[in-house]
Structures are given as structure tokens and as C-alpha cells.
């Protein structure tokens, strides 16, 4: 079996230890300090939260994913669904349903996943005030046990039309729940900063900040080597380092590339530079259609910026060197192109410059001579 895991939360033996971050997060949980965690896509935020709470004895995690949440209704449903999945005691569920009786809820078991799900009369829309009722139920859960509540992709609350009201309601209840720790994770930096560091936001200075960066090579390299060894592949430190670099040092992408390299080799074999190329080509083949769809959605000028970013990762984008690389004459045109690419989530801001959200797409552009 392929020992590499990607596209899912990893834990226990699949979780490469990040002792400092784990300790910080566990200490925050124990001291009741709310935290907002920021980090790039696939860097390991969700896994870190799950692992930190799993390691804390006696704690339960109420995990609420807000990815692409669009309405108050959707927000409330996700919170309620997470609650019924965590707290499966019949008495509590009965109480939950009766406190939301005006929404005509009904509880059932999803035949595919086997998880409990709640459905509501779709003609009755949830109102912002419903959020308060749900938070009171969470407070009740926190009164009975040690509880960490994690809102993941929290910045997506901003998609909601009444987001100001939703944030104010969330904050008004959360600030009094002293025995519950809240983690807010997000990958869109400027939006997360807006929520937690802008004085006009209800969440201004309401949580400590924690940055989730790449996994330290000192632990990640041996972790990956060991995974290869568990599947009877030998690999040198140098080749593992190359794979990490090719995947932009993003753990999820590193594991995906390693999974392909693993598939490209046989038991007892030593991994070579050629296997790296085969692994990368396997990813290209799998993602080609998506890459082509992206190309159709952007202009020639935007493409030139993308290629230039793929070839360099530290050049200042408004420098003459960058303009020369793109062949674009004016800095304002570059700026407009980059702004659009950020909006399309093809690139993101990173340490004073920009990076491709998918490092393999950049390699593919270069590989194909764009
Ligand atoms: N500590 C870790 N050890 C090994 N691999 C990890 C670790 N953390 C993350 N990964 C890899 O990254 C992938 C994504 O992890 P996770 O979902 O936790 O990241 P995320 O930052 O929440 O991503 P997203 O932005 O997509 O929500 C995992 O499937 C795994 O391949
Ligand atoms: Mg996540």
C-alpha cells in the first residue's frame, strides 16, 4: 500500500511531528486562549488542530468547516450538523431539536457516511439570531466537558451578505464562554487579518495569532525517508530535499509528489532523479485538464506573469527585472494582471511577492515552454 497520504486530515503515524506548534496550540487550548491560525493552503492547519486536541486528554473537538459558506442559513446548518456529529447522546440531541423546534428539524442517519445529519424545513430560513441559540447550545456542551471549537476556513464568513452581523453575533457570545477555547483557522491572509486585526472588526484583538508554516526539514526529511523505507524503497536525503523543493515546501503537495514517486518505483528499488521526473509527470497527466481550463480563463498578459512567477520566487514583481521577464512594459499592467490572478485564486501573496497556489502548475508551464 502506498504510505503517503494527501488531500485528507492526517494524524498519528501519518502526522509528521511539529512539536513547537503542537505545544503552543495545546497550551492555548488548556489556558482557554482563543487563537487564529494562518497558513497557506495544504500547509497542515486542519491536521494540526485535530492532532493537538487528540493529544490533549479529556478534550473534545467541535470542528466546523466554513469553506465556501455563503449564507446565514448555511452557517447555522454547518454548526448544527457539527454539534450532532460530536454529541451523539440521545438526551442532548432531543434537547437540541426541541430548542430549534421553530425550524422543524428532523434527525436522520446519512446512508452513505453513517453520520447523523439534521435537516430542516427548507421553507423556514434561519435568521442571524439563530446563531446565538446555537452558541448557547455550544456553551452548554462546554459546561459538561473540556471543549475546543474550531472554525476552519473562517474567512469565508465574509462571503455571507450579512457577515458584519454574523461576526458581531458570534463574537458577542464567544467572549463570555470562558471555559471553551476557540480556534479560527484560515488560509486567506488579508481576510483573516481583516477579521482579527482591523479595529473596526468585532473580532479585533480577540484571539492570539499563530502562524503555520512549512514543516521543518529536520523532521520532515526523515519522516518521508521512513515512509519510503516502510514500502521498501530507498531514497537519499538529497532526493527527498529535491522533492520537497519541487512541491514548493507545501506538505500536502510534497506528500502527493512522494505518493507518485512511490508508484513509479518498485519494491527494493532506490529512488533516482529520473523517478522524480516520472512522479511529476504523473501529476501533470492527472491535472492537465484543470491546467488547460485555467489557461482558457486567463489573458495572455496574465499568463506571462504566471510564467515569470514560476521561474522566480523572490524577484519583486514591480522591479525592472520582473517586467523584463514578462515582456510587459508598464508596472500598472503587471499589477492589474496579478490582482486578477489573486482574485481567481491562481496565485497568492507571499513574503512581499506572489506564489502559485499550485506549484505543479508552475512546473507544467515551464515544462511545456510557455
Ligand atoms: N504534520 C503533517 N505531517 C505530514 N503531512 C502533513 C502534515 N500536515 C499536513 N500534511 C499534508 O498536507 C495535507 C493537507 O493537510 P491539511 O488538510 O491539514 O492542511 P490545511 O492547511 O488544512 O489545507 P487546506 O488549506 O486545503 O484546508 C495532508 O493530507 C498531508 O498530505
Ligand atoms: Mg484545512
What is the per-residue pLDDT across 74-91, written as a single tens digit (0 to 9) for each? Answer: 999 999 999 999 988 888
Q: Are 118 and 106 in contact (CB under 8 A)?
A: yes
Q: Are 315 and 322 in contact (CB under 8 A)?
A: yes
- Across the range 223-238, mean pLDDT stands at 98
b vs e for 318-334, b when ≥16 Cβ sit within 10 Å of the residue's Cβ? eeeebbebbebeeeeeb
Give the pocket of ligand 1 (CB within 6 Å).
Answer: 5-10, 15-16, 18, 39, 41-47, 187, 215, 251-252, 255
> 157: exposed, middle or buried (C-beta count within 10 Å: 0-12, 13-18, 19+)?
buried
Beta strand pairing call for 347-350 and 208-211: unpaired
- CA dist 25 and 34 (Å) reads 10
**In this predicted structure, what is the pLDDT of residue 96?**
85
- pLDDT value at 102 more than 90: no
Atom 25 of ligand 1: nearest residue by CA position: 41
Q: How do the domains of the chain map onto residue ranges?
A: 17-211, 216-297, 299-370
Rounded to the nearest integer, the mean pLDDT of the chain is 94
Quick: pLDDT tens for 126-183: 887 889 999 999 999 999 899 999 999 999 999 999 999 999 999 999 999 999 999 9
H or E segment to which residue 37 belongs: strand 35-38
- Across the range 273-285, mean pLDDT stands at 97
**Position in ligand 1 atom list of the atom nearest CA 41:** 25
Q: How open is the CA angle 77-83-87, to the nearest 5 degrees?
A: 150
Q: Which ligand is nearest to the CA of 6?
A: 1
Q: Which ligand is nearest to the CA of 43?
A: 1
**In this predicted structure, what is the pLDDT of residue 247?**
97
- CA dist 135 and 99 (Å) reads 12
Q: Name the nearest CA neighbour of 36 among 194, 162, 143.
A: 194
Please report which confidence band the pLDDT of residue 100 belongs to, taking 50, 70 and 90 as the band edges: confident
- Across the range 341-370, mean pLDDT stands at 93
Global pTM? 0.93
Homologous superfamily (CATH) of 17-211 is: P-loop containing nucleotide triphosphate hydrolases (3.40.50.300)
If phi over 0 gives left and psi between -120 and 50 gives alpha, with beta otherwise, what is residue 161?
A: alpha
**In this predicted structure, what is the pLDDT of residue 99?**
85
Percent of the chain at pLDDT exceeding 70: 100
- CA 47 to centroid of ligand 2, rounded, Å: 7
Please report which confidence band the pLDDT of residue 242 belongs to, taking 50, 70 and 90 as the band edges: very high
- pLDDT value at 6 more than 90: yes
- pLDDT value at 350 more than 90: no
Mutate to test the pocket of ligand 1, among 10, 250, 259 (most ligand atoms within 8 A of CB): 10
**In this predicted structure, what is the pLDDT of residue 213?**
95
For 299-370, give the CATH class: mainly alpha
Neighbouring C-alpha atoms within 13 Å toward the C-beta of 112 = 0
- pLDDT value at 125 more than 80: no
Mutate to test the pocket of ligand 1, among 152, 244, 252, 258 (most ligand atoms within 8 A of CB): 252
Eight-state DSSP code of residue 192: H
Q: Which ligand is nearest to the CA of 44?
A: 1
Amino acid at each position: 500500500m502506498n504510505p503517503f497520504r494527501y488531500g485528507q486530515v492526517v494524524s498519528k503515524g501519518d502526522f509528521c511531528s511539529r512539536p513547537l506548534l503542537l505545544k503552543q496550540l495545546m497550551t492555548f487550548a488548556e489556558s482557554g486562549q482563543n487563537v487564529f491560525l494562518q497558513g497557506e493552503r495544504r500547509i497542515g492547519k486542519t491536521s494540526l488542530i485535530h492532532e493537538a486536541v487528540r493529544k490533549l486528554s479529556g478534550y473534545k473537538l467541535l470542528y466546523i468547516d466554513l469553506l465556501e459558506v455563503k449564507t446565514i442559513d448555511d452557517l447555522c446548518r454547518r454548526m448544527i450538523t457539527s454539534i450532532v456529529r460530536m454529541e451523539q447522546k440521545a438526551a442532548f440531541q432531543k434537547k437540541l431539536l426541541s430548542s430549534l423546534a421553530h425550524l422543524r428539524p428532523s434527525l436522520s442517519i446519512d446512508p452513505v457516511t453513517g453520520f447523523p445529519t439534521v435537516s430542516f424545513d427548507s421553507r423556514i430560513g434561519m435568521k442571524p439570531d439563530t446563531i446565538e441559540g446555537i452558541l448557547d447550545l455550544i456553551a452548554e456542551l462546554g459546561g459538561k466537558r473540556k471543549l475546543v471549537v474550531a472554525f476552519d476556513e473562517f474567512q469565508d464568513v465574509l462571503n455571507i451578505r450579512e457577515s458584519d452581523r454574523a461576526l458581531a453575533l458570534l463574537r458577542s457570545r464567544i467572549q463570555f464562554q470562558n471555559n471553551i477555547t476557540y480556534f479560527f483557522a484560515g488560509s486567506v491572509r488579508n481576510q483573516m487579518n481583516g477579521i482579527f486585526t482591523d479595529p473596526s472588526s468585532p473580532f479585533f484583538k480577540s484571539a492570539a495569532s499563530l502562524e503555520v508554516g512549512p514543516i521543518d526539514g529536520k523532521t520532515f526529511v526523515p519522516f518521508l525517508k521512513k515512509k519510503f523505507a516502510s514500502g521498501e524503497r530507498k531514497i537519499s536525503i538529497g532526493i527527498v530535499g529535491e522533492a520537497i523543493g519541487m512541491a514548493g515546501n507545501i506538505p500536502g503537495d510534497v506528500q502527493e509528489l512522494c505518493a507518485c514517486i512511490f508508484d513509479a518505483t518498485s519494491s527494493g528499488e532506490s529512488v533516482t532523479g529520473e523517478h522524480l521526473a516520472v512522479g511529476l509527470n504523473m501529476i501533470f497527466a492527472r491535472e492537465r485538464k484543470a491546467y488547460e481550463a485555467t489557461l482558457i480563463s486567463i489573458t495572455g498578459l496574465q499568463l506571462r506573469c504566471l510564467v515569470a512567477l514560476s521561474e522566480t520566487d523572490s524577484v519583486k514583481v514591480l522591479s525592472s527585472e520582473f517586467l523584463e521577464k514578462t515582456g510587459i512594459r508598464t508596472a500598472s499592467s503587471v499589477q492589474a494582471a496579478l490582482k486578477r490572478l489573486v482574485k481567481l485564486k491562481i496565485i497568492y501573496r507571499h513574503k512581499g511577492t506572489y506564489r502559485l497556489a499550485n506549484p505543479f502548475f508552475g512546473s507544467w508551464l515551464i515544462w511545456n515552454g510557455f
